[in-house]
Structure 1
Amino acid sequence: MKLPPALVAVTLAALTAVSLSAVDIVAHRGASFDAPENTLAAEKLAWKQNADAVETDIYLTKDGKLIVSHDKTTKRTAGRDAAIADLTLAELRELDAGKWKGAQFAGEKLPTLAEQIALIPAGKRMFVEIKIGPEIVPELARELVRTGASEKNITIISFNYESLKEVRKQLPRYQTQYLVGYKKPDGKAPAKKQPTLDEIIAEAKAAQLTGLDLQSTWPLSKEDVKTIQAAGLQLHVWTVDDVAIAKHWIDLGVASITTNRPGWLREQLKL
């Protein structure tokens, strides 16, 4: 039976809406396009912009506490050229991590993970990126207990394979995503050897990780995505601030898209 053109159009629109709605929007370091990255202001704005999750980054301080920062030094976002590992929590908390983004953000501090967890709304999640080695995992495990966080609202991600393996040992119930970049050859320098998809799938399976979180430059096909899913792994992608690229990954079947502009991207995609 041939359907009327109008009914075909409505049906296709409905199927597209279902496909798009299945994709989570993850705020990269909070709503970092509009607010100073990895601050409570950026996190609050991300929730206001209806992000499904917020991505954050953690280091250990000199006195063994968890502090939120993307960089290993405080120079770029807080104006002091010092390594986080060389400063105590109290010293780090004295810094202003907001005014570089704008005068209205002056006074924003480098938050603790506990402060960020406390702001997670019901039904939302946080992707916690470990920026260093497995030495951070015991304190992370203690902090998750202290804050009452659980596998329902926390996912652990990292480029550091050894850190993720340690998470699987100490926090086996938590989802773990393996971050893997991909640098496109530019013809200007010798191409860096890239890991193959089979290699990273094998690594993830060997460590019993639950997913891959890939840079948006990865040249994947739908067959590649089927291979990832057949291996029992979720697929996530970072960092996408372009609508066409976001739609490409949605078409491939990605579970979440990490973006600096969660509200804007959700609006553009009509999620």
Structure 2
Amino acid sequence: MKVKTPIIVAHRGASYKAPENTIPAFKIAFDEQADFIEGDFWLTADNEIVCIHDSNTSRVGNKNIKVTISTLDELKKVDVGIRKGNQFAGTTIPTLQEVLEIIPEQKGLHLEIKDNRENFLIRLKEILNGNNIHTNQIRIISFHRNIIRAAKKYFPEFKAYLILGWYFSKGNYFKSLSKKLIMKKLSTVNCDGVVLFADSYIDEEFISKLKAENYDVCTYNVENESKAQKLVSYDVDSITTNSPLMIRNAISKIK
């Protein structure tokens, strides 16, 4: 039986090579055969949506300012590339619009909502409505059930996935409990799928159970070949990685 190839999602772009959540990282990811990119998004003080993981710029930038109380102009003055190397000096925080403009046809975006304010969703709807984006090109994802619930009301046409983190991975003793907790959380939110931290609690039986409940099953934290190949054998729908080309090559070796 032919093995189905999962979608490869580049976590914050090709973040092993370029500064995370930037246009260079996203372009490299697509060059490295990623199907989707994944980015994190916040709303600025002047109602622009920007792509950055943290609520401030201290970890990735050359200065520290808070995203939600800063204007786009202020944020654009932060260099988020220099820490990755001189070749990325001058790289700026991209807007969602700038990210959408570099997504090729037949490719897409895992859009992680970090900002839980309703104004974010209002602005997001304006931006998505103003772009020629097919519904298959966007997946809205979040760790927060309230965000997913709201997203399904604002964007019923887009799939929305609940992310469940590393805290469900506690070793063999907790495997059964982790699975029960995940199913319980999923029962409280109307979502189309789940994004699971790829660790010991994931097995073929559990993936099959989720799929039987009509959930898309996505995985992240996949940074080696053997893990990727095992997840393919479990029939997951997508694999999120910092190194898309490595994972693409690993999957290509499966006979």
Separation (CA, whole Å) in 1 of partners of 2:216 and 2:192: 6
Work out the CA distance in 2 between the residues paired with 1:241 and 1:224.
21
Match of 1:153 among 123, 137, 143: 137
Name which of 61, 64, 82 aligns with 1:78.
61
Asked whether the 8 Å contact 2:148–2:162 carries over to 1, the reply is yes
Report whether the alignment pairs 1:269 with 2:251: yes
Matched residue SS, 1:152: helix
- Gaps of at least 5 residues in structure 1 are 1-14
- Residue 24 (structure 2) aligns with: 41
Greater than 4 Å deviation, 4+ residue runs:
none
After TM superposition, the structure 1 = structure 2 runs for residues 161-180 of structure 1, keeping only pairs within 5 Å, are 161-180=145-164
Note the aligned Cα RMSD (angstroms): 2.0
Cα distance, 1:185 vs. partner? 3.9
Once the two structures are TM-superposed, the CA of residue 99 in structure 1 deviates from its matched residue by 1.0
Match of 1:130 in 2: 113
Deviations 1:4-51 (A, max 9, x none): xxxxxxxxxxx4xx31x5211110111111111111001111111111
Which residue identity lines up with residue 222 of structure 2 in the other structure?
V
Larger Rg: 1
Q: 1:221 aligns with which of 203, 210, 235?
A: 203
Superposition map of 1:181-200 within 5 A: 181-183=165-167, 184-185=169-170, 196-200=178-182
Q: Please say if residues 158 and 177 of structure 1, whose CA atoms lie closer than 8 Å, have aligned partners that are also in contact.
A: yes
Which string of whole-angstrom CA distances, capped at 9 and with x for unpartnered residues, describes residues 93-132 of structure 1? 1111111101011111100011111111111111000012
2:211 is aligned with what amino acid? Q
The reply to whether residue 249 of structure 1 matches residue 246 of structure 2 is no
Q: Distance in 2 between matches of 1:84 and 1:197?
A: 35
Q: Structure 1, residues 41-96: CA drift from partner, whole Å, max 9, x if none? A: 01111111111110011011122210100111101111222211121111001111
| DSSP-derived class of the 1:77 partner | coil
CA distance in 1, matches of 2:142, 2:200: 17
Say how many residue pairs are matched. 249
Q: Cα 1:59–1:246, aligned 2, differ >3 Å: closer, same or farther?
A: same
Are the aligned partners of 2:228 and 2:250 in contact in 1 as well (CA < 8 Å)? no
1:159, distance to aligned residue in structure 2 (A): 0.3
User: Are the aligned partners of 2:178 and 2:201 in contact in 1 as well (CA < 8 Å)?
Assistant: no
Which whole-Å CA distance do the structure 1 matches of 2:238 and 2:200 have between them? 15
Q: Does structure 1 residue 142 correspond to structure 2 residue 126?
A: yes
Matched, 1:240 2:200: no
1:11-30 pair list within 5 angstroms: 15=1, 18-19=2-3, 21-30=4-13
Separation in structure 2 between the aligned mates of residue 201 and residue 185 of structure 1, nearest angstrom? 17
5+ long unaligned stretches in structure 2: none
TM-score by length of 2: 0.91
Deviation (angstroms), 1:206: 4.1
- Find the counterpart in structure 2 of residue 68 from structure 1: 51
Counterpart of 1:212? 194
Residue in 2 that maps onto 1:5: none
Q: Distance in 2 between matches of 1:163 and 1:138?
A: 13
